[in-house]
């Protein structure tokens, strides 16, 4: 893929495991973002095996997981709903969140849904809304069933307390049709807050942008609407990263 980063030793056919050991011996902490799913877990495994105590942060592994995004998304969700995470953490059960568009490839959906739906944690009602072909992976569906999550899957928009909108993850070479969320859609489905892990896409238009010089964008964009939580999510990235480190 065009965004693949090749390190010099990778060009010499180095083992990933050796590279991890090199990084673990150079740095105090490793923040790893990989194109391939499962690589961060493999890196952590090799460090455990050889006794490096370097901490790892998974900053997104392919289509797998994005746990740091989940932390800031969870904080943003509480804040957007006017709740205090320490005092009100039980209040999310009974509320619903709909994950829109690329349930198949979006790692932020995979990580956040696991946390919000877990009955041991927040117990939210999960709704996965996508066009056919972009539903959540079967393994995740089975996990939700085994762990007794309350969830449903749909191919059309429906009411939810929160909408978590994603773009089509086109870097994996699959073009998906996306639902577009506008103030009218949020009104119609009683959506209290709208989230997006960003970047939003230009072509997919899943969350129309508000451009000062283009009046035609103003009525379809939520950017000036109090329900929009996506810039709050972005802001929370800094304190969450600081806290983790």
Closest chain position to ligand ASP (CB)? 197
The strand pairing partners of 58, in sequence order, are: 32
Q: Which is nearer to ligand ASP, 24 or 222 (CB)?
A: 222
Q: How far apart are CA 89 and CA 163, in angstroms?
A: 19
SS (H, E, C) 127-173: EEECCCCCCCCHHHHHHHHHCCCCEEEECCCCCCCEEEECCCCHHHC
Query: Using the rule CB under 6 A, which residue among 70, 74, 108, 233 binds ligand ASP?
Result: 108
Q: Which is nearer to ligand ASP, 62 or 80 (CB)?
A: 62
Collapse the DSSP code of 34 into the 3-class scheme (helix H, G, I; strand E, B; otherwise coil) and give the result. strand
Maximal C-alpha separation, the chain: 59
Tokens of 61: 């592994």
Q: Which is nearer to ligand ASP, 107 or 114 (CB)?
A: 107
Contact characters 193-222, ligand ASP, x per CB under 6 A = ----xx------------------------
Query: Using the rule CB under 6 A, which residue among 21, 63, 114, 167 binds ligand ASP?
Result: 167
Query: Using the rule CB under 6 A, which residue among 66, 104, 110, 114 binds ligand ASP?
Result: 66
In angstroms, what is the minimal distance from the CB of 198 to ligand ASP?
6
Q: Which is nearer to ligand ASP, 66 or 104 (CB)?
A: 66
Residue 107 found at the interface with ligand ASP (CB under 6 A):
yes
Q: Which is nearer to ligand ASP, 34 or 221 (CB)?
A: 34
Q: Is 1 exposed, middle or buried (0-12, 13-18, 19+ CB in 10 A)?
A: exposed
Pairs from 213-219 (Cβ < 8 Å, separation ≥ 24):
219/182, 219/183
The number of residues that bind ligand ASP (CB under 6 A) is 8
Q: How far apart are CA 190 and CA 184, in angstroms?
A: 10
In angstroms, what is the minimal distance from the CB of 243 to ligand ASP?
19
Task: Please report how many Cα atoms fall inside a 13 Å half-sphere around the Cα of residue 215, on the Cβ side.
Answer: 0
Q: How far apart are CA 164 and CA 108, in angstroms?
A: 10
In angstroms, what is the minimal distance from the CB of 138 to ligand ASP?
21
In angstroms, what is the minimal distance from the CB of 196 to ligand ASP?
8
Q: Which is nearer to ligand ASP, 93 or 241 (CB)?
A: 241
Residue ranges in contact with ligand ASP by CB under 6 A: 60, 66, 107-108, 166-167, 197-198
């Amino acid at each position: 893929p065009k965004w693949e980063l090749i390190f010099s030793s990778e060009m010499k056919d180095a083992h990933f495991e050796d590279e991890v050991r090199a990084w673990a011996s150079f740095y105090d902490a490793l923040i790893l973002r990989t194109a391939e799913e499962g690589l961060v877990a493999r890196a952590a495994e090799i460090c455990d095996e050889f006794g490096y105590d370097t901490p790892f942060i998974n900053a997104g592994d392919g289509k797998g997981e994005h746990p740091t995004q989940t932390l800031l998304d969870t904080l943003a969700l509480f804040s957007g709903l006017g709740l205090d995470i320490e005092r009100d953490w039980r209040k999310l059960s009974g509320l619903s969140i709909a994950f829109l568009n690329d349930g198949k490839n979006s790692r932020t959906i995979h990580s956040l849904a696991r946390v919000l739906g877990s009955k041991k944690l927040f117990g939210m009602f999960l709704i996965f809304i996508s066009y056919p072909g972009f539903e959540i992976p079967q393994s995740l569906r089975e996990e939700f069933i085994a762990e007794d999550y309350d969830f449903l899957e749909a191919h059309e928009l429906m009411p939810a307390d929160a909408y978590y909108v994603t773009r089509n993850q086109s870097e994996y070479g699959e073009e998906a049709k996306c639902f577009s969320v506008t103030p009218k859609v949020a009104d119609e489905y009683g959506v209290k807050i709208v989230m997006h892990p960003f970047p939003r896409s230009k072509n997919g238009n899943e969350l129309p942008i508000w451009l000062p010089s283009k009046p035609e964008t103003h009525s379809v964009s939520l950017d000036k609407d109090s329900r929009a939580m996506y810039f709050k999510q972005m802001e929370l990235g800094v304190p969450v990263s600081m806290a983790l480190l």
